[in-house]
Amino acid sequence: MTRETPQPGHEAAPADGGGSPRASSPGDRIKRLFVRLGALPFLLLAAVIIFTLMSDHFLTSRNLLNVARQSTYLTIVSMGQMFALLTGGFDLSVGTIIALTSVVGASAMAASYAAAPDAVAAAIVLGILAGLVAGVAVGAVNGIGVAIFKVSPFMMTLGMASVGFGIALYLTGGVPVYGMPAAFSDIFGYGQFVGIPTPIYVTGALIVVIYVLLNWTRMGRYFYAVGGNIRAAALSGINTRFSLFMAYVLCGLMATISGLLLTARLETGEANIGAALPLESIAACVIGGVSLRGGVGRVGNVVLGAIFIGLIQNGMNLARIESYLQTVVIGVLLILAVIADQVRQRFVASLQD
């Protein structure tokens, strides 16, 4: 009786006592979990454990609600940054858009309120519209430069960051803008409904809108296609220029909304706010699994990435870590997130082999 030999390339599976394939090792299971979920859940768990041990106030309901409120501004900007990253670029001007929105919106609101003190609602609406026009205009210029003139997203958005910041300083002379109606801050800055701050409701609504846009609309699918392979997308009949243009317009719109909410919170128009948000928004996206190469990313993970950064900042504040070191920590997290993404891609390739 001859003994059957395995065919080339097909090794006989090792068996246990019952003849079934050997169970995967714990290391393999962790690897598959990491490939499926990414690094963010592990980072969140580690952050919660560390800061809970460092401060008794960290896991209180009051502090967690405070984290949610503080994270709204970064969450909104990060969702906008995601549009640019999905198409294979990024936007370094989001901080400037926030500053310019704050200055223009506050100036228009204060001037209107001073001219007609009884028309509070009209002054608020006029200020919001002025801020929206200013912020979206910067996004539109970015989109024209990247989509029409093929300027590198890095150079285009970096240049617009300088231009916008200069305009904001010119309009204010570096002095904060006062004189807005108190109702603007009472509603959009400090307002609450059922104990939950108004900015959280605004952010929640935007999350739903962007989720629907990216997952259930043709434009959303086009963003992923352009970032995955712009030449293939063009050959498929996609208007890649329009998709690139809209990515930066939407990014500018999201930064504008964040700027208006932040202005309401500060109760003044500031030309010096938002400087850290370009780095933090990119970090939130990358930590949330958005690929720097484009074409990969989920809204839910970006939201968790922004909340994670807010959680880190809150925990470091409770632990009384200096603000300068906090900037170092955010930079380190960004580098680690990029490394984790590279490792994850290698794991995906190894599991497919």
353 band by pLDDT with thresholds 50, 70 and 90 = low
| 261 in a structural domain | yes
Q: Tell me: the pLDDT tens digits for 299-336?
A: 999 999 999 999 999 999 998 888 788 888 888 887 88
Quick one: average pLDDT of 81-102? 97
Give the number of domains in the chain. 1
Q: Is the pLDDT of residue 2 over 60?
A: no
Q: What are the φ and ψ backbone dihedral angles of 195, each rounded to 5 degrees? A: 80, 0
Quick one: average pLDDT of 81-91? 97
Owning domain of residue 243: 57-275
| 119 in a structural domain | yes
Q: Is the pLDDT of residue 285 over 90?
A: yes
Angle between helix axes 61-86 and 218-228 (nearest 10 degrees) is 70
Q: Measured between alpha carbons, how far is 74 from 310 in angstroms, rounded to an integer?
A: 8
| 154 in a structural domain | yes
Q: What is the DSSP string of 103-126?
A: HHHHHHHHHHHHH-TT-HHHHHHH
Quick one: average pLDDT of 18-43? 68
Q: Measured between alpha carbons, how far is 243 from 40 in angstroms, rounded to an integer?
A: 29
Q: Tell me: the pLDDT tens digits for 190-206?
A: 999 999 999 999 999 99
Q: Is the pLDDT of residue 160 over 90?
A: yes
Quick one: average pLDDT of 157-167? 97
Q: Is the pLDDT of residue 44 over 50?
A: yes
- pLDDT for the residue 18: 47
> 129 versus 342: which is more confidently predicted?
129
262 band by pLDDT with thresholds 50, 70 and 90 = very high
- pLDDT for the residue 24: 64
Strands 192-193 and 196-197: antiparallel
Q: Which residues lie closer than 8 Å to 128 by C-beta, 6 or more apart?
A: 105, 109, 260
**Listed range (80-89, 97-106, 154-163, 292-301) with the worst mean pLDDT:** 292-301
Q: Is the pLDDT of residue 38 over 90?
A: no
- pLDDT for the residue 12: 46
| 38 in a structural domain | no
| Average confidence score pLDDT of the chain | 89
| 8 in a structural domain | no
**Listed range (118-122, 140-144, 205-209, 347-351) with the worst mean pLDDT:** 347-351
> 66 versus 30: which is more confidently predicted?
66
Q: Is the pLDDT of residue 19 over 60?
A: no
Q: Is the pLDDT of residue 174 over 50?
A: yes
| 337 in a structural domain | no
| 48 in a structural domain | no
| 323 in a structural domain | no
